[in-house]
Amino acid sequence: MRESIQDRMAREFLEMEPGEREFWLRSRNESERMGLWQALSESRHLTCTDIVELPQPYQAELCRFVVGDPQRGISGSALTFYLEPVAGPVEWQVGTRENRRKMITIDRRISVPAKQAIGILHNLGPSAPIDLNRNKVREWVESEEPEAQEEPKATKPSASKSKKDKEKEKAEESEQ
C-alpha cells in the first residue's frame, strides 16, 4: 500500500527537531498544513509534547483537529495521552460542580483526554510559562520503557500438588 502525501509529510514532520518545525511549517501553504494536521491527528506517533512545543498559531490549528471544532465541522480524533507526576502528586482543575471546583489528582501515570492533557502539559510541563509550575508533570510514551519479559515464576513443589497428594505425603511421613 502506498503512503499518501499527508502521511509522508506527517512522518517527516515528526522526525524533525522541534526547532526546525516552525521554519518547515512557514514554507507550507494553508491547504498543505490542513492535510498535515489531519494526518497528524490520526497518527499514533503524535505525542502531547509535540503539540505543546509547536508555536502559535500552528499549535491552535493542530489542536482543532485533535480536540475537534464543531463550528468548523471538524470532529476530534479522540486521542488520549498518558501523563505522570515528576516529584509528587499534582492537582488540576477540570471544571466545577455545585459551585465547587472539580479537581483530578495526578499521583501516578494516568490516561487523560487530549483536551485536558494539552492544557495540563502546557501549564505544568517542561515548557510551562510560570517557573514554579515547570516540570511538575511529564508525558509518558510507551516506547520509553522496554517491555519487560515475564520470566516463569518458580513455584514450590508443594504449591503445585493437589490436596489429595499433600494428604498422602503427610500420611507417608507419619508412617515413617
Q: What integer pLDDT is reported at residue 1 of this predicted model?
A: 55
Predicted local distance difference test score (pLDDT) of residue 23: 92
Domain tally, the chain = 2
Residue 161 domain-assigned (yes or no)? no
Count Cβ neighbours within 10 Å for each residue of 4-38 and write b for 16 or more, e otherwise.
eebbebbeebeeeeeeebeeebeeeeeeebbbbbb
pLDDT of residue 65: 92
Residues 60, 35 share a domain: yes
In this structure, are residues 122 and 128 in contact, taking their beta carbons and an 8 Å threshold? yes
CA-nearest of 71, 77, 91, 1 to 46 is 77
Model pTM score: 0.74
Query: Contacts for 64-73 with beta carbons within 8 Å, 24 or more apart?
Result: 64/37, 65/37, 65/38, 65/40, 65/41, 66/40, 66/41, 66/114, 66/118, 67/114, 67/115, 67/118
170: in domain: no
Tell whether 160 is covered by a domain.
Answer: no
Is residue 3, in this structure, part of any structural domain at all? yes
| Residue where one domain finishes, among candidates 23, 52, 77 | 77
| Whether residue 89 is found in the same domain as residue 57 | no
Residues of the chain with pLDDT under 50: 147-160
How high is the mean pLDDT of the chain? 84
- The answer on 93 and 68 residing in a single domain is no
Q: Which of 77, 101, 133 is the last residue of a domain?
A: 77
Residue 27 inside a domain? The answer is yes
Q: What is the pLDDT of residue 77?
A: 86
**H-helix or E-strand spanning residue 85:** strand 80-85
Query: Which domain covers residue 1, as residue numbers?
Result: 1-77
CA neighbor of 20 nearest in space, from 67, 62, 63, 58: 58
Share of the chain above pLDDT 70, in %: 81
Q: What is the pLDDT of residue 73?
A: 85
Question: Do 70 and 85 belong to one domain?
Answer: no
- Same-domain pairing of 17 and 2: yes
The per-residue pLDDT for 149 is: 43
Residue 171 lies in a domain: no
Same domain for 10 and 59: yes
User: Which residues, in sequence order, are CB contacts of 82 under 8 Å at separation 6+?
Assistant: 109, 110, 111, 112, 139, 140, 141, 142
Please state, in angstroms and rounded to a whole number, the distance separating the CA atoms of residues 101 and 21: 37
Residue 110 lies in a domain: yes
Please report the pLDDT score of residue 137 as a whole number. 95
